[in-house]
Amino acid sequence: MVWRLYRRFRSQRLEGSLGDTALDVLTRLYKVGPQTLTALSDYDHVAPGSMSQSVNRLTSAGYAIRTPDPDDRRKVLFSATPKGAELALAERNERHAWLDGRLRALSPEDQLVIARACALLGEIADS
């Protein structure tokens, strides 16, 4: 059930938006800040070649930029551009608005049940 909700949540996106993988990478760059290709690959558990395709898509679209790593000039850092940060934030707002609307449509009693279930799932996730 959680997986179905997650998939439905992820399907809520702006018209003509990036695919899930590129959007996930952009969101990470927006939230966490500059990342190396290795760090992005490790976080998503994908091969660097696969991650390279995603960051290339983001940089060619103007959503991310490459800069030399100030600590190791042999490495490259990827960062969200202002345009990329704007898209990441807009996508997040779109998804949250969808979920908020669905939750507000529930009865107050059902909202309390959902709140309790979320607390329990959070405890499980943190265990």
pLDDT digits over 63-88, tens only?
999 999 998 988 999 999 999 999 99
pLDDT at 12: 77
**What domains are there in the chain, each with its CATH number?**
2-126 (1.10.10.10)
Q: CB–CB of 26/88 below 8 Å?
A: yes
Q: Confirm if 25 and 58 have CB atoms less than 8 A apart.
A: yes
Binning pLDDT at 50, 70 and 90, where does residue 97 land? very high
Mean pLDDT of 34-47: 95
Residue 39 near residue 55, CB atoms below 8 Å: no
Mean pLDDT in residue range 2-21: 78
Q: CA 88 → CA 16, 36, 55, distances in Å?
A: 13, 19, 14
Confidence of residue 46 (pLDDT cuts 50, 70, 90): very high
pLDDT higher than 70, residue 25:
yes
